[in-house]
């Protein structure tokens, strides 16, 4: 029996390192290829209990809040980090990107969020009623690296 990928201090360090690197990653990798970078090797081999995704997302959110100002705030850092580690934990989630007009604003803004089982995961407000999805990263869209 191996060590849990979502347990111990190494997990927390890995979360913070990825979160701190997200702004650089987003400059280096085009959005259509992002899923290839984020999809962990062997993810989904043992399906995880969907109920544990919410607890893991809250744990990661706490880490991200505590790491500010080293780790930037915002949905992009949060979404990319959550997607990677929820997928690593075997959760069937998608990273969704959308545009909309929150709170009746005149201009458009973007947002990204995690979706599991057709619902937004760990969001304060339901994003799908505000933002129109424009792009999605999911295990089905990520292509495995070829040798």
**pLDDT one-digit tens code per residue, 99-137:** 998 877 788 899 999 999 889 999 988 999 999 999 999
Cis peptide before 119 (omega within 30 of 0): no
Q: How far is CA 73 from the centre of its chain?
A: 13
pLDDT attached to residue 43: 58
Give the closest residue to 144 by CA, choosing from 48, 42, 45.
42
* Residue with the larger pLDDT of the pair 40 and 26: 26
pLDDT attached to residue 51: 79
pLDDT in tens, 30-80: 988 999 999 987 655 556 677 799 999 999 999 999 999 889 999 999 999
Q: Is 116 strand, coil or helix?
A: strand
Taking CB atoms within 8 Å and a gap of at least 24, the contacts of 25-34 are 25/80, 26/76, 26/80, 31/97, 31/135, 34/80, 34/137
* pTM of structure: 0.86
- CA–CA distances in Å: residue 73 to residues 3, 55, 77: 30, 20, 7
pLDDT attached to residue 147: 40
> pLDDT class for 3, splitting at 50, 70, 90?
very low
**Position 6 pLDDT exceeds 80:** no
Distance, CA of 51 to CA of 30 (rounded, Å)? 32
pLDDT attached to residue 146: 45
**Position 145 pLDDT exceeds 60:** no
Q: Is 134 strand, coil or helix?
A: strand
> pLDDT class for 17, splitting at 50, 70, 90?
very high
């Amino acid at each position: 029996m191996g060590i849990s990928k979502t347990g111990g201090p190494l997990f927390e360090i890995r979360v913070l390192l990825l979160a701190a690197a997200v702004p650089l990653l987003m400059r280096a990798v085009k959005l259509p290829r992002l899923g290839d970078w984020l999809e962990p090797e062997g993810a989904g081999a043992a399906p995880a209990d969907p109920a544990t995704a919410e607890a893991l997302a809250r744990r990661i959110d706490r880490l991200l809040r505590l790491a500010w100002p080293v780790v930037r705030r915002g949905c992009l850092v949060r979404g990319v980090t959550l997607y990677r580690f929820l997928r690593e934990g075997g959760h069937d989630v998608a990273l969704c990107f959308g545009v909309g007009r929150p709170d009746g604003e005149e201009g458009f803004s973007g947002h990204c969020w995690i979706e599991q089982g057709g619902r937004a995961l760990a969001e304060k407000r339901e994003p799908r009623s505000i933002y129109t999805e424009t792009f999605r990263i999911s295990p089905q869209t990520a292509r495995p690296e070829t040798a």
